[in-house]
Structure 1
Amino acid sequence: MEKSLLQRLPETPPEISEWKQPKVHRDAHVQYAYCFYPVPFRLIGQQLWLRATDTTIRIYREHELVATHPRLFQHGAASTVADHMPPEAQAWQSQDIQWCLCMAQAIGPHCYGVVHQLFADRVLVNLRTVQNILRLRDKNSPQRLEAACARALRFSNPCYGAISQILKKGLDQEPLSPITTESGSTYTSGGRFLCDSATLFH
């Protein structure tokens, strides 16, 4: 008798899901299972609902669906949606490697030399550093940035910290001292090719 009441199983198995309540980080991402998913930046700081299945992440603000992403599994992986970023972050995102090279070339050969040297090392790791260096033109001027890059290259220190300090101290407007040709150890003070930080910032 009970057998006659049984129904066929559904052709599609039920979707198993897990619900969490993550808080939106300052970078407009929420974290689930060591992965990061973006939401609209207007939701920064808010507590949202996250529904995770084997294939999909859905994020809700109360009953409103605000974001849907494919499920990530690699530890530390992050999904990115440009429209979810604040305007200033969208601007950073558009400043890719080719943009940086073109901008540096427009500023001058020494600025291009700094950028080219950084990209020759580790492109993706140094991209943000290059963006920060090029951004110094906004606080100063392209001419001053070019002069600061020339000084940094002279002393084999093409990094953001050195270039920023050169501009801060106004050393880009000082004439570069001639490179010493005195003999000595390359790795100690007075060596032929050594340019230490004391000389760089004075």
Structure 2
Amino acid sequence: MPYIRDSFWRGRQFASLEAMQVAATEWCTEVAGRRSCRPLDGAAPAAVFAAVEAGALQSLPGKAFVLATWSTATVGPDIHAKVGKTIYSVPWRFIGQRVDARETPLVVQIFHKGQLIATHGRKPQGKQTDFGHYPPEKIAFRMRTPTWCRTRATEIGLACAQVIDGLLEVNALFRLRAAQGVLGLADKHGTARLEAACAKAIAVGNPSYRTIKGILVAGAETDPPPPSAGDGGAAAHLHGPSQLFANVIPLPTPNVTLEADTVIADDDRGGPGDDEPGAGMAVLA
């Protein structure tokens, strides 16, 4: 570098970049390449290049060189490794392994012991997942769309279909995992028990995943449902006159009969004395 500074740059001024490039090419060919170089035993660099190095040159690569950033990460239990501000998935069998990541402006490549195991489009931040990296059973779970859930529930039974329709009626994507969980209970407990548990959950008024799972774990899907009040806790007058006093227990009617000619004395001032029997009491004819 001192030689280039002193021999080429010192005392020179250039009007443009193009003029500087032309002058540099001429200097390399006519001055620097022809000088006697001590490390080359006095030979000129241009002569050594033509005799030794020119034949070893290779053609330029077809693609331009791309700057890349390398980093190391550990694959987590969720099959993702963090590269920069983004986590990228890798095949599940590499969980817990150390991997090397090569990040370019467009692509992220992940290597394990020098072998390329995953390639993703670069994302500034967030999460990038290739569902093919999950185990087979997890792939099937991830691909269970709302349409698949409704179809599968219909195959199980009417009660199960009613539960799934209720879960997916509003915000289907946010409640999809609950619907998948309900249908997944059939793998462990069977479709018949799941259908019975769904019917039981509907009867008690809480057709949620937690309730259905609890019924199956307890083996209570065949137990009779608890008696219902019939009004859902609402005020009686909201159900019409026939239900207003539906739960009122009638009082017993006294078994007393008065004859038609019975006379009740209402003047106790002129009757028998207060100390006499029958004073102030009814007198029967």
Q: Please classify the TM superposition score into its range, dividing by the shorter chain length.
A: 0.7 to 0.9
Q: CA deviation at 1:183?
A: 8.0
Q: Distance in 1 between matches of 2:214 and 2:126?
A: 34
Match of 2:179 among 130, 136, 139: 130
Establish whether residue 166 from structure 1 lines up as the match of residue 187 from structure 2.
no
**Structure 2 stretches lacking a partner, 5+ long:** 1-7, 9-22, 30-62, 236-285
Q: CA deviation at 1:155?
A: 3.0
Q: Distance in 1 between matches of 2:156 and 2:120?
A: 40
Identity within the alignment, %: 33
CA RMSD of aligned residues (A): 2.4
**Structure 1 stretches lacking a partner, 5+ long:** 7-11, 187-202
TM-aligned CA distance change 1:39 to 1:183, over 3 Å: closer
User: What secondary structure, in the 3-state scheme, does the structure 1 residue paired with 2:206 have?
Assistant: coil
Q: TM-score, normalized by length of structure 2? A: 0.57
User: What secondary structure, in the 3-state scheme, does the structure 1 residue paired with 2:102 have?
Assistant: strand
List 4+ stretches of structure 1 deviating above 4 A: 182-186
Match of 2:195 among 146, 158, 173: 146
- 1:77 matched residue in structure 2: 127
Establish whether residue 27 from structure 1 lines up as the match of residue 78 from structure 2.
yes
Q: Distance in 2 between matches of 1:101 and 1:86?
A: 24
- 1:3 matched residue in structure 2: 24
Q: TM-score, normalized by length of structure 1? A: 0.79
- 2:162 matched residue in structure 1: 113
User: What secondary structure, in the 3-state scheme, does the structure 2 residue paired with 1:114 have?
Assistant: helix
Q: Residue deviations 1:132-190, cap 9 Å, x none?
A: 1111112212111111111222333222111110111122111223431258557xxxx
Q: CA deviation at 1:47?
A: 0.4
User: What secondary structure, in the 3-state scheme, does the structure 2 residue paired with 1:60 have?
Assistant: strand
Higher normalized contact order (CA 8 Å, seq sep 6+, divided by chain length): 1
Match of 1:42 among 90, 93, 112: 93
Q: CA deviation at 1:59?
A: 0.6
Q: In the comparison of the two structures, how many residue pairs are matched?
A: 180
